[in-house]
Amino acid sequence: MRVHIDQDKCCGAGSCVLAAPEVFDQREEDGIVLLLDAEPPAALHDAVHEAAAICPAAAITVEQA
């Protein structure tokens, strides 16, 4: 799995951080998503898929390896 984010689309809702805090964080100044792990381990795949599904701005895409 490879995770991609589009910071230009991000609205700073923080849903991704709640779903997968090991993979996503937010910038302090504006809440825009930060990618902590572009290739998370298998144990986090379900959480990453959830984060992508619930992102209100569709700023997260997941590429299967």
For 52-64, write each residue's pLDDT tens digit.
999 999 999 999 9
Confidence category of residue 41, pLDDT binned at 50, 70, 90: very high
pTM: 0.95
What is the C-alpha end-to-end distance of the chain, expressed in Å?
5
**By the 8 A CB rule, do 24 and 35 touch?**
yes
Helices (H), 1-65: 15-19, 45-54
CA 60 – CA 65 distance, rounded (Å): 16
pLDDT(39) > 80 = yes
Query: Tell me, what's the pLDDT at 65?
Result: 76
| Domain ranges within the chain, ordered by starting residue | 2-63
Q: Write down the architecture of domain 2-63 according to CATH.
A: 2-Layer Sandwich (3.30)
Question: In the numeric block, which tokens belong to residue 61?
Answer: 């895409």
Question: Over pLDDT 90: what percentage of the chain?
Answer: 98
pLDDT(6) > 90 = yes
